[in-house]
Amino acid sequence: MNKLLTLFTALVILGGLALAQAPADTFVYQSFSAGPVSLDPVRAYDSASGGILENIYETLYTFNDPAIDEFVPALATSYSVSEDGTTWTFQLRDGVQFHSGNTMSCKDVEYSLQYGLVVAHPEGAVSYLMGGQFLGTLADGSDPEGYQAEVSWEMIDGAVECPDGPDGLVVDLNITAPDPALLAILAYTAFSVIDSQFAIENGQWDGTEATWTDWIGRNVTEEFLQRNASGTGPYQLVEWTEEALVAKRFDDYWGGAAPIENVVVQYVNEQSTRTLAIQQGDADAIDVPERASLVQLRGSPGVVIFEGDLPDTSIDNVFFNYAIDTSNNEDVGSGQLDGNGIPGDFFTDVNVRRGFAHLFDHQLIIDEIYEGNGYVVTMPMPAAFLGYNPDVPVRTLDLEAAEQYFRAAFGGELWEKGFEFTALHNAGNTRRQTALEVIKSNLEFLNPKFRMNVRGLPWSDFLARTGERKTPMFALGWGADYADPKNFINTFLDNDGFYSGRTSVDFPEIQALIDQADSIVDPAERAFLYKEIGILVYDLVPILPLPEQANYLVVSDRLEGVYYNPIRSSDINFLWKDISKN
């Protein structure tokens, strides 16, 4: 008995040691993600990666935080545009040092942008956001030979030039047509300036024509810059493991050393761990992907919840895959329309999609998941953006309508035979999971032969699987790269858009409107065209936009300088350098 008592006492003592707070020179942020996909700016295209990159690397211009559409000089000090709008000349900042000690000059900007165009990684952002402007094509490196057929070295070489020589401080960007959004796009992390000497010395692309074809579409996650970084940003990378990424202040930062010395981004899967960490002062900011978890945080001493007018610039949807790869795919059952699976073209029948749309309950998500702080989205783009059409009707829960559409699908065959498939979401995202579960619940009630499974996958696995076009239906979203409808409509619905690689989306009527909107610059005309697209979204149901919510931010009350800029990649929406801690 005495021994038990001793043991218990020991436990109490050990427990008492727990109450140590994160020191004032360290900012601890617990992220819900499993960590960055890549630290290579040309490969990264997710918020976990971008949230690191925007603090380690810098771009020519950056957002005037917290504004989403005003820009301030960063690595450039000024710029001018040629009369025809196709040459942008940037004056670079003098004496900017990389973390490695090298000094930044034009050759680094040239290398960085060209490296992105050379790799043209299909899952990166460079080709998608700038391929059109620089090279006149959205083609990416997924098919290296096809890419070479469209893109020559001369084109890449000519896109970025150093008129004052490689060590000069002037850089020219040559684009194919005027683009009013160029500055906004260039502020994105994919156009970060890499330390060219550091990269080349360590085996990354050597920057020459001789090797460029070797790097087209290269899986750069196996290369040096995946885990190593020398940028100009206020923080430099110390270590990145599965559990955490550690960065420390870069004392030679051109803008002056940041107030906080160390930053730790911990990748913590469990909400309860994150919640307790901020309550106990072990973390200074945490991700709370589910609004419901705020219940456990409201009123905690030392915890501040920014709520209210924080507009979100992201949109979640339920996506249909129009050409499912049914080989070696456990998510489509038999892969046939035989009651035990679905065929690869299952969602090409408009009645199937309309049927699904009438199984979803928008208000339920708003009430139960957003605690009433949400609104129905009529078309897949943020309501604040140009061309959003609030007057489009929305298909919502209506079992009779759903039955009518499903009975009509596949000439009546579907209703008789039934089907089964698995829909995916990223594990831990309750909003997406619940959206799918609501559909599942109503679907299975509609007809006992209809079966839908809902499965959550870890983030990277989820992206890989949907990227292989294996997932019949999935819930996923898009956070704005820049504030323009194009960034959403094209991303979701263009047959060359980012999601086309996951859904093979192809609606000629919508495509015609998208192409038309892309070809003009007049805002009123563009707005009209996007509103038309909204009407088609109702009719054809190419995609199911989920309701959106007002955002919120959970930080420690020891942090100062916190702001909310939804256009920033990071899920905490501010830069590390701007905050201090007491």
Partner 1 sequence: MFVFIIRRLSFLPLVFFGVTIFIVLLMQVLSPYQRAAAFAQTEMQARNLDAIIEQYGLDDPWYQQYGRWLNQVRQGNLGYSRTSSEPVLTTLRRRFPPTLELALFAILPVIGVGIWLGTAAALNRDKLIDQFTRVLSILGWSLPTFVLGIWLLVIFYGALGWFEPGRINAQNIISIAGEGSGFERYTGLMTLDALLNGRFDIFWDALRHLVLPVITLAVVSSAQIMRVMRSALLEILSQDYVRTARAKGLQESVVNHKHARRNALIPVITLSGFVLIGLVNGVVITETIFNYPGLGQWAAQAAINLDYAAILGFAVFTAILVVLANLLVDVLYAVVDPRIRYD
Partner 2 sequence: MDSTTGVALEAVTEKPRGSVLQRWWASKTMQRFRRNPLALTGALIVLAFIVTATIAPLITSPGRNCLRDLGLSAGTVSYAKNPTKAAFWKVMFTPPETCYAVPRVGFSPVPKSAAESNTLLGTTSRGYDIFYGLVWGTRTAFRIGVIVVGVSLIMGLLVGSVAAYFGGWVDSLLMRFTDVVIAVPALVLALVIVTVLGISINNLMIAIAIVSWPNYARVLRGDILQVKELEYVTSARALGRRAPGLIFKHILPNSIGPLVIIASLDIGSIVLTAAALSFLGLGAPIGYADWGQMISFAREWILGPPGQPLAYWYVSFWPGLIIVLFVLGWNLLGDAFRDVLDPRSA
Please provide the size of the chain in residues: 582
| Sheet with 473-479, side-by-side order of all strands | 450-457, 419-426, 473-479, 314-320, 543-545
Q: Which of 31, 105, 127, 434 binds partner 2 (CB under 8 A)?
A: 434
Give the 3-state secondary structure of residue 213. helix
Q: Which of 42, 56, 156, 283 binds partner 1 (CB under 8 A)?
A: 283
Q: Which of 102, 148, 296, 404 binds partner 2 (CB under 8 A)?
A: 296
Question: Total residues contacting partner 1 (rule CB under 8 A)?
Answer: 48
Residue 208's binding partner among partner 1, partner 2, none (Cβ under 5 to 8 angstroms by kind) is: none
Q: Sign of torsion, CA 353 356 361 365?
A: negative
Name the CA dihedral angle for 275, 278, 283, 286, rounded to a multiple of 10 degrees: 50
Minimum CB separation of residue 434 from partner 2 in Å reads 5
Minimum CB separation of residue 544 from partner 2 in Å reads 16
3-state SS string for 393-447? CCCCCCHHHHHHHHHHHHHHHHHHHCEEEEEEEECCCHHHHHHHHHHHHHHHHHC
Residue 8's binding partner among partner 2, partner 1, none (Cβ under 5 to 8 angstroms by kind) is: none
**Residue in 266, 270, 310 with CA at minimum distance from that of residue 290:** 270
The answer to whether 339 touches 419, Cβ cutoff 8 Å, is yes
CA 294 to CA 137: how far, in whole Å?
A: 45
Within 315-344, which residues bind partner 2 (CB under 8 A)? 330
Residue 454 binds partner 2 (CB under 8 A): yes
Residue 3 binds partner 1 (CB under 8 A): yes
Within 211-250, which residues bind partner 1 (CB under 8 A)? 219, 221-222, 238-239, 241-244, 246
Minimum CB separation of residue 203 from partner 1 in Å reads 16
Query: What backbone torsions phi and psi does residue 72 show, to the nearest 5 degrees?
Result: -125, 155
**10 Cβ contact list (under 8 Å, min separation 6):** none
Within 318-337, which residues bind partner 1 (CB under 8 A)? 327-328, 330
Within 220-239, which residues bind partner 2 (CB under 8 A)? none
Residue 167 binds partner 1 (CB under 8 A): no
Residue 270 binds partner 1 (CB under 8 A): yes
The DSSP 8-state label assigned to residue 369 in this structure reads: I
**9 Cβ contact list (under 8 Å, min separation 6):** none
Distances (CA, A) of 15 to 5, 11, 19: 15, 6, 8
Name the CA dihedral angle for 271, 273, 275, 280, rounded to a multiple of 10 degrees: -170
CA 301 to CA 331: how far, in whole Å?
A: 46
Beta bridge partners of 80: 89
Residue 11 binds partner 1 (CB under 8 A): yes
Minimum CB separation of residue 290 from partner 2 in Å reads 6
Minimum CB separation of residue 194 from partner 1 in Å reads 21
Q: Which segment (412-420, 452-460, 534-542, 574-582) binds partner 1 by CB under 8 A?
A: 452-460
145 or 330: CB nearest partner 1? 330
Name the CA dihedral angle for 81, 83, 85, 88, rounded to a multiple of 10 degrees: -30
Residue 369 binds partner 2 (CB under 8 A): yes
| Sheet with 87-92, side-by-side order of all strands | 76-81, 87-92, 170-174, 160-161
Residue 438's binding partner among partner 2, partner 1, none (Cβ under 5 to 8 angstroms by kind) is: partner 2
Q: Which of 295, 384, 520, 521 binds partner 2 (CB under 8 A)?
A: 295
Minimum CB separation of residue 37 from partner 1 in Å reads 9
312 or 571: CB nearest partner 1? 571
Amino acid residing at 578: D
Residue 420 binds partner 2 (CB under 8 A): no
Cα angle for residues 514, 156, 160 (degrees, 5° grid): 95
Residue 272 binds partner 2 (CB under 8 A): yes
Residue 444 binds partner 2 (CB under 8 A): yes
Residue 301 binds partner 1 (CB under 8 A): no
**201 Cβ contact list (under 8 Å, min separation 6):** none
Q: Which segment (58-66, 132-140, 210-218, 295-303) binds partner 2 by CB under 8 A?
A: 295-303
The answer to whether 249 touches 262, Cβ cutoff 8 Å, is yes
Residue 290's binding partner among partner 2, partner 1, none (Cβ under 5 to 8 angstroms by kind) is: partner 2
Q: Which segment (33-41, 46-54, 99-107, 293-301) binds partner 2 by CB under 8 A?
A: 293-301
10 or 399: CB nearest partner 1? 10
Name the CA dihedral angle for 275, 277, 280, 282, rounded to a multiple of 10 degrees: -150
Which residues would be at the binding site for partner 2 (CB under 8 A)?
A: 270-272, 275-276, 279, 290, 292-293, 295-301, 330, 364-365, 368-369, 430, 434, 437-438, 441, 444-445, 448, 453-454
Which residues would be at the binding site for partner 1 (CB under 8 A)?
A: 3, 11-12, 14-20, 22-23, 26, 28, 30, 219, 221-222, 238-239, 241-244, 246, 262, 264, 266, 268-270, 272-273, 276-277, 279-280, 282-283, 327-328, 330, 457-458, 460-461, 464, 468
